[in-house]
Amino acid sequence: MIRLGLALTLFALSPMLFAERPNIIYILADDLGYGDVQCLNPQRGKIATPHLDKLASQGMTFTDAHSGSSVCTPTRYGLLTGRYAWRTRLQAGVLDGGNDEPLITADRLTVAGLLKAQGYTTACIGKWHLGFQSKSATTRGDKKKGMGNAGLPIGAEIIGGPVTRGFDLFWGCSNARTMSSLIEGNRVIETIEPITMLPRLGKRAVSYVQERAADAKAGKPFFLYLPLTSPHTPILPTPEWQGKSGLGAYGDFVMMTDAIVGDVLAALDQASLADNTLVIFTADNGCSPQAGTDKLEQQGHYASEQLRGYKADIWDGGHRVPFFVRWPGKVKAGSQNAQLICHTDFMATSAEILGVKLPNAAAEDSVSLLPALWGGAGTSTRTVIHHSINGRFAVREGRWKLCLCPGSGGWGKPGDAEAAKQGLPAVQLYDLSTDIAETKNLSPEHPDIVAKLTKQLEISIANGRSTPGAKQANDVEIVIFKTKASK
């Protein structure tokens, strides 16, 4: 693996594609379903999201965008490294969040490190959930306050956190279960009530934009990675948002999340930075059943729109997510793109914007979206590999999607064990061009497609990458057909 210092030296010598490098804001909602955004689900979506709707109207909407996994930690790894997380030790589930060995190794290039080497100031404000360790023992959280897991005391030192992975600034928390511990840089600075975390993240993001405005106008751009803690559980809308949606706490929390995005976009306008800022909004996976999806559907709101499944599942409801890109003067307002894309594509996109050639040992699963942003049609042969909470794989190419498990691969019904007992086929093949809800398994009728897509996965594993380039090593042995879930 290439050493980070050498990689940055190479980057520093690379030419720039744009004379004025854009500021970049990447907003990542937590457990927000594709159908939770009103403009993506006008018929079966009942939650008002005016700021996200406006953002979509001002830029490009990708309708076939996917998180790298149907759960949190692996998606965030892929987003920041351009590499699928199933190539690491994390073969299923997520990190606990209290005191974990960092999933991103110290010598792995991140998009923050890439941009920092090109003169960007970099900040992560929000939920990290990629592992760090502490010199202080953890203390039990108060479940009544919504933590339900260990928190860190004031003064605890963070080891291996965001400021060691390319970010100049970190301000936030480890994950949704440790929101009582507010971290700045590499130290816990305060303990707070979890209900205050989201609004505080929004205010800190706004102040960061204000702080960086003068330098940004002077040619020193910034990158703000804003992974919000909402609408993930604990579902904690503040009093002014309670009851706003008419759909219960989850609907209120989605509306509050939408408002936070609106505040950040307003800060760009007020600082006269909007025209030279690339804004991306998306989610880390689909809506969680813990949001009360059954009740929401009874009220007429379908958080996965017409997609099958929810968070944790291998079906598209687990990982097809909202994805909006606004870049005034560069990306056509009100446009849509049906190209198949993945969160891992952020690294290659950033590199191409800056005219940077990535080293072979970085961004192994990243494809630049820049041609699509310019209005290109993309390629129908792009392959994206999906992963569920239980470590089950799916392979997507064009209209075909192959799931290498008999059931949901996650929390949805039937689960894999139940599906096997029902005598369902060991794999599932769907033609999404005619069956976006994944209702008719075509695997018995198309064994050639099953074999082709399985081979694609095997090649991607053997090469240590899914993009052109020199062969790389996975961190662990990869088992395609898993018999049990394990971290």
Whether pLDDT at 17 is above 80: no
Give the domain 4-373 fold. Alkaline Phosphatase, subunit A (3.40.720)
Q: How confident is the model at residue 379 (pLDDT cuts 50, 70, 90)?
A: low
Segment 219-238, tens digit of pLDDT: 999 999 999 999 999 999 99
Backbone φ and ψ of 204, nearest 5°: -65, -35
- Nearest to residue 409, comparing CAs of 449, 438, 447? 438
Hey, which residues does 226 pair with through a beta bridge?
Answer: 27
Q: Which amino acid is at 144?
A: K
Contact call for residues 170 and 128 (beta carbons, < 8 A):
yes
Give me the long-range contacts of 207-210 (CB less than 8 A, separation at least 24).
Answer: 208/123, 208/125, 208/169, 209/25, 209/264, 209/267, 209/268, 209/271, 209/273, 210/267, 210/270, 210/271
Same topology between domain 4-373 and domain 383-463: no
Alpha carbon of residue 252 to chain centroid: 22
- Nearest to residue 251, comparing CAs of 27, 38, 26? 38
Contact residues for 147 (Cβ-Cβ < 8 A; gap 6+): 141, 177, 178, 179, 180, 194, 234
Q: How many CA atoms lie within 13 A of 122 on its CB side?
A: 19
Q: How confident is the model over 117-133, as a mean pLDDT?
A: 96
At 378 the pLDDT is 57
Backbone φ and ψ of 201, nearest 5°: -60, -45
Q: Which two tokens stand for residue 226?
A: 């804003």
Q: How confident is the model at residue 18 (pLDDT cuts 50, 70, 90)?
A: low
All structural domains of the chain with their residue ranges: 4-373, 383-463
Q: Which amino acid is at 12?
A: A
At 483 the pLDDT is 65
Question: The pTM is what?
Answer: 0.94
- Nearest to residue 172, comparing CAs of 213, 246, 227, 96? 227
pLDDT above 70 coverage of the chain, percent: 91
Q: Which CATH architecture has domain 383-463?
A: 2-Layer Sandwich (3.30)
Contact call for residues 161 and 187 (beta carbons, < 8 A):
no
Q: How confident is the model over 440-456, as a mean pLDDT?
A: 98
Per the prediction, the chain carries an average pLDDT of: 92
